[in-house]
A and B are shown apart, each in its own frame.
Chain A
Amino acid sequence: MTVADPDHELAERFRDGERGAFDLLVRRHQKGMWRLIRRYVKSDADAADVTQLAFMRAFRGLAGFRGTATVRSWLYRIAINCALSWLRDHRREQPTEIAEDALTDDNPAPAQLSARDDRARLRAAIALLPPKQKLVLELRVFDDLSFKEVSDLADCSENTAKVNFHYAVKRLRDILGADHEP
């Protein structure tokens, strides 16, 4: 168990039979879980359902949690798995833009970005990142996870997570063109 994990004590208390400890974990992480899931599931209500499902899985597995990662990254891993599973089950109902295959289009020309708004352009640029770079970037920037936690979730080493993050930022700079060039 990571020494600095603030959720370690709650996990221990839950293992000792205290249900209230799990309620505290839910209160602490439900927003982050929902936002993470919401990036995969393009519906607020569906994201809420998947979040609840993810917490149910976490409840069943927390007693066996070995503590090789932080509780937060463990919860986020469950959230990602639940979201991907939900996507597989509802593939036809999802807009095509979230299909993972659409995110692997390498080296798009800046002209392909039709959005005029900077935010829309940036979001479109993120969507065009390779999946792993996108995952690492979003976990790092939007979920504010450490590179260690990102590496746990992305199934890679911490150094690989840093490299992917570096490439993602560099590619965003290239996609966005000269706007960010000095």
Chain B
Amino acid sequence: MSRDPRIAPHAGDAGGDAPRDPRSQLLTAYVDGVTELSPDERRGVEAWLADDPAARRESDAVHAVLDQLRALPPNAGEVAEPDWAAMERSIRQAVATEPIRPWWRRWQWLVPAMTCATAAAVLLVIWPRPAPVMAPPHRHVPEPVATEPTTTEPTTTEPTTTDGVVALWLDGSEVDVDLAATEPLGDAGFEIGGAPRDDAADDGDDGDEVGLLPATDLVWVDRLDDAALDRAERWLAGPENAGGSTGRRNPGGAASPAGPTGRASPSRKKS
């Protein structure tokens, strides 16, 4: 045999380390009970025992120790075993009031229910929704002005005239234009004149209003000197005209009184 049987590992527990000779461990397990070995291990130990007399001696020694151990009473000294029937009764009485199922088992169904509910809530939150379909912008059609003498169709968007005031639909808002203020311009005032329109200089918001005033009649603007233009600019920027241009930009269509009507009013023209 290749190992010294007196070399015993006395240094504490064999915590998972393989023995120095795995065959010895297998031999001990073999002697203790062959069913604890796999068929291959059993065949290996039996072959070892058949070939090596020292292995047979070791097997006999292990047999002797195990026989002594199994002959030993499990407990030291005189042990008086209890009355097993009495112990059984006392255990039965002790657990008589105990419920078989722990309390949480009665609510065990809550676990899958809560899981499903949580999953559904998460899905609702993260589910990709289609982009909301935007309703087409509502185009406000101005109510026809009830005037007896005019025969304007109720649904028309043509300018309607009432008592010298023409209702125009400009830039999404209804604008009342005092015809008296535009009378001097005549019919030509509603046409873009021969003067070339300077789109680059235009601020872009007033383009719809160009038709209100004839370009040919704006030459007086060109004759204004710089001081007059500065005064006009200051006046337009003044607090009384602060809402003039913004009112027309209101998408709701509610133009301020100082809006386009004001621009077309005689007082504006005077300034």
Do A and B pair up? The answer is yes
- Residues on A facing B (Cβ under 8 Å): 14-15, 17, 19, 22-23, 26-27, 30-31, 34-35, 38-39, 44-45, 47-48, 51-52, 55-56, 59-60, 63-64, 104, 106-107, 118-119, 122-123, 126, 130-133, 137-138, 140-143, 146-147, 156-157, 159-160, 162-167, 169-174, 176, 180-182
Output the nearest chain B residue to A148 by Cβ-Cβ distance: B36
CA A44 to CA B88, docked complex, whole Å: 16
A-contact bits for B83-97, CB 8 A (1 contact / 0 none): 010011011101100
User: Could you list 16 further interchain pairs (A-B, Cβ under 8 angstroms) beyond the known A51-B91, A122-B68, A173-B8?
Assistant: A22-B95, A52-B91, A56-B91, A123-B72, A131-B13, A138-B74, A147-B36, A156-B15, A167-B14, A169-B62, A170-B24, A171-B10, A173-B65, A174-B6, A176-B65, A181-B61
Q: B14 contacts A133, CB within 8 Å?
A: yes
CA A141 to CA B69, docked complex, whole Å: 7
List A contacts of B81 (CB < 8 A): 31, 34, 44
**B123 at the A/B interface (Cβ < 8 Å)?**
no
Q: A38 contacts B84, CB within 8 Å?
A: no
Q: A52 contacts B94, CB within 8 Å?
A: yes
CA A39 to CA B72, docked complex, whole Å: 13
Q: A142 contacts B74, CB within 8 Å?
A: yes
Q: A56 contacts B6, CB within 8 Å?
A: no
**B66 at the A/B interface (Cβ < 8 Å)?**
yes
Q: Which of B12, B64, B94 sits near A56, CB closer than 8 Å?
A: B94
- Which 3 pairs across A and B sit closest by C-beta, in order of nearness? A132-B13, A142-B74, A166-B28
A-contact bits for B50-66, CB 8 A (1 contact / 0 none): 00000001001110111
List A contacts of B66 (CB < 8 A): 141, 169
**B136 at the A/B interface (Cβ < 8 Å)?**
no
List A contacts of B100 (CB < 8 A): 14-15, 17, 19, 63
Q: B17 contacts A163, CB within 8 Å?
A: yes
Q: Which of B10, B17, B62 sits near A106, CB closer than 8 Å?
A: B10
Q: B98 contacts A30, CB within 8 Å?
A: no
Q: Which of A104, A164, A174 sits near B8, CB closer than 8 Å?
A: A174
Considering the complex, which residues of chain B in the window 74-118 have a beta carbon less than 8 Å from any beta carbon of chain A?
A: 74-76, 79-82, 84, 87-88, 90-92, 94-95, 98, 100-102, 105
CA A119 to CA B61, docked complex, whole Å: 17
CA A177 to CA B56, docked complex, whole Å: 19
Q: A34 contacts B14, CB within 8 Å?
A: no
List B contacts of A34 (CB < 8 A): 81-82, 87
List A contacts of B18 (CB < 8 A): 163
**B39 at the A/B interface (Cβ < 8 Å)?**
no
- Residues on B facing A (Cβ under 8 Å): 5-6, 8-19, 24-25, 28-29, 32, 36, 57, 60-62, 64-66, 68-70, 72-76, 79-82, 84, 87-88, 90-92, 94-95, 98, 100-102, 105
CB distance from A70 to the nearest CB of B (A): 15
CA A172 to CA B32, docked complex, whole Å: 15
Output the nearest chain B residue to A27 by Cβ-Cβ distance: B88
CA A162 to CA B68, docked complex, whole Å: 19
List B contacts of A52 (CB < 8 A): 87, 90-91, 94
CA A27 to CA B8, docked complex, whole Å: 41
CB distance from B89 to the nearest CB of A (A): 10
Q: A39 contacts B84, CB within 8 Å?
A: no
Q: A162-B29, A163-B19, A164-B13 are in contact. Are A30 and B87 (CB under 8 A)?
A: yes
CA A142 to CA B68, docked complex, whole Å: 12
CB distance from B238 to the nearest CB of A (A): 85
List A contacts of B101 (CB < 8 A): 17, 63
Q: Which of A23, A107, A160, A169 sits near B92, CB closer than 8 Å?
A: A23
Q: B14 contacts A164, CB within 8 Å?
A: yes
Output the nearest chain A residue to B80 by Cβ-Cβ distance: A44
CB distance from B216 to the nearest CB of A (A): 99
CA A31 to CA B65, docked complex, whole Å: 25
